Structure 1
Amino acid sequence: MKIVGVGCGPGMLTAEAARIIAGASLIYGSARAIELARDAIPPECEVHEITDYRSLRSLPDHAVVLSTGDPMLAGLGYLPGEVVPGISSLQVAFARLKLPLTRAAIVSAHGKDHIRAVADAKKEVLAGRVVFLIADPAFKVGALAAALPPRIRIAVCEDLGYPAERIAVGTAAEPPTPRGDLFVVVAGDF
């Protein structure tokens, strides 16, 4: 099996990912991942939207599993098989904000304990790192802001790579608010 990162938005499919997808006969992915890879999928390929993530480990060896962004950043890279990296929301957010990736500390709040994620983010920010927080729709940016010193900058990065991409920057004293469900948060002294 191959787990292929399709990028975090349109036009972010790498040449290697496109080549593997073009040669696939069996593909699984979320609706969003399939749409991002649509132009590379051959017409004769059997394509399935993932409905049960637990069953992915039992797919045949020739299956290609599409993962949004990069499979190793809160994606499907845990599955057995070869991982083909993709362009992640981390890469895009830090590029847009002109921040070096070497300063990044990754915290996931996606489907996880938000209180713990805020505590982890605070610890990293106070240690001088720039936190890249993978949020879910229920994550409250205000809760993160309340835990940080007022001067710390916070960026809400939404729909990265899509035409409606939006990056709003504020401070912990006046944090930006997400407008939609597909967002990440960058926080630190930057």
Structure 2
Amino acid sequence: MKIVGVGCGPGMLTKEAAGAIAGASLVYGSARAIALARDAIPPDSEVHEIADYRSLCTLPDHAVVLSTGDPMLAGLGYLPGEVVPGISSLQVASARLKVPLARVVVVSAHGKDHARAIAGAREETLAGRVVFLIADPAFDVEAFAAALPPETRLAVCEDLGYPDERIAVGTAAEPPVPRGELYVVVAGEF
């Protein structure tokens, strides 16, 4: 099986990823991942939207599983098989905000205990690191901001790589508010 990162937005499919997809006869992915890779999927491929993520490890060896962004950043890289990396939201947010990746620590709140994620992100921020927080639609940016010193810079990075990409920067005292459901939060000195 191949787990292929399709990038976090349109036009971010790497040549290696496109080649892996072009040779696929069986493709699985979320609706978003399939849409991002659509031009690389052969017309005669059998394409399935993932209905049960737990059953992915039972797919045949010739299956290609599409993962949005990069499979190793809160993606499907845990599955058995070869991983083909993709351009992640971490890379795009770091480039847009001009934050060196070596200064960044990743905290995932996506589908996780938000209070625990906020506590971990607060600790990392207080230690002087820039936090890249992977949010989900239920994540409360204001609760995160309230846990930080008021002068801490915050950025909400939405729809990275898409035509309606938006990056709003503020502080913990006046945090930016997400407009949609597809976003990450960057906190610290950047």
TM-score above 0.5, yes or no: yes
Partner Cα distance (1:63, 1:182) in 2: 27
Name 2:96's counterpart in structure 1: 96
Cα distance, 1:41 vs structure 2: 0.4
Cα distance, 1:163 vs structure 2: 0.5
Name 1:156's counterpart in structure 2: 156
Number of matched residues?
190
1:1-190 alignment, distance < 5 Å:
1-190=1-190
Cα distance, 1:178 vs structure 2: 0.1
Question: 5+ unaligned residues in a row in structure 1: which ranges?
Answer: none
Partner Cα distance (2:35, 2:155) in 1: 27
Cα distance, 1:189 vs structure 2: 1.4
- The root-mean-square deviation of aligned C-alpha atoms, in Å, is 0.4
The code of the aligned residue for 2:185 comes to: V
SS at match of 1:65: strand
Partner Cα distance (1:177, 1:124) in 2: 22
SS at match of 1:184: strand
SS at match of 1:133: strand
TM score, norm. by length of structure 1: 0.99
The code of the aligned residue for 1:30 comes to: S
Partner Cα distance (2:189, 2:36) in 1: 33
Write out the 4+ residue segments of structure 1 that deviate beyond 2 Å after TM superposition. Answer: none
Partner Cα distance (1:21, 1:111) in 2: 28
Question: 5+ unaligned residues in a row in structure 2: which ranges?
Answer: none
User: Once the two structures are superposed, what CA deviation does each residue of 1:134-154 show, in whole Å capped at 9, x if it has no partner?
Assistant: 000000110111011111100
Q: Percent identity?
A: 83
The code of the aligned residue for 1:137 comes to: P
SS at match of 1:37: helix
SS at match of 1:185: strand
TM score, norm. by length of structure 2: 0.99
SS at match of 1:122: helix
Cα distance, 1:158 vs structure 2: 0.2
The code of the aligned residue for 1:64 comes to: V
Partner Cα distance (1:141, 1:151) in 2: 15
